[in-house]
Structure formats: structure tokens, C-alpha cells
Amino acid sequence: MRSFIYEIRDRAGIHARPAGIVAKEAKKYGAEITFFHGEKKADAKKLTELMAMGIKCGDKLTVQMEGTDEEAACSAMEEVLKEYL
């Protein structure tokens, strides 16, 4: 299992466009990729779950990957979040 913490920098927080990009990237990997924020959690491969988290600018997410390609998934998620959120 791999994980990291990321602070959202986008002023709008997680909204449709970046959530769609995150979900599309996450679907490339066999590893389970889960976002945690407080009591909420979301499967990163599901756009609606990401949107339902209500994450705002300045919020911190814990991103957890578990599976055979978790190393690659971790690197990809870090890059996508840095670029779009």
C-alpha cells in the first residue's frame, strides 16, 4: 500500500473538469485508488464520488493506492493532482 497527502490549490476545489481527469487517469491502473477527506472517502475511478466529497481549496486529501501497480498509480496521481488541482 502507498499513500500521500495533497493540499488542494485550485480555488474552485474539486469540480467537474479536474475530477474527470483524475478519474480517467485512475482507470488506467489496476490498483484501488481511494481519496480520503475527514470522514468521507471516494473511489478515484468514479467521478460522482469525487464530486460528492465537496473538497475546497486548502483542504487536504489522503490518497491511497493498493494493488499490483500501486507504485505507478501513486506517481500518476501525484502528477495529475499537481497539474490540475
- How far apart CA 60 and CA 55 sit, in angstroms, is 8
- How far apart CA 37 and CA 30 sit, in angstroms, is 22
Place of cell 481511494: 34
For the chain, what percentages of helix, strand and coil (3-state, to nearest 5) are there?
40, 25, 35
- Catalytic residue, from 2, 15, 37, 46: name it: 15
Clarify whether 15 is annotated catalytic: yes
**Which residues are catalytic, by number?**
15
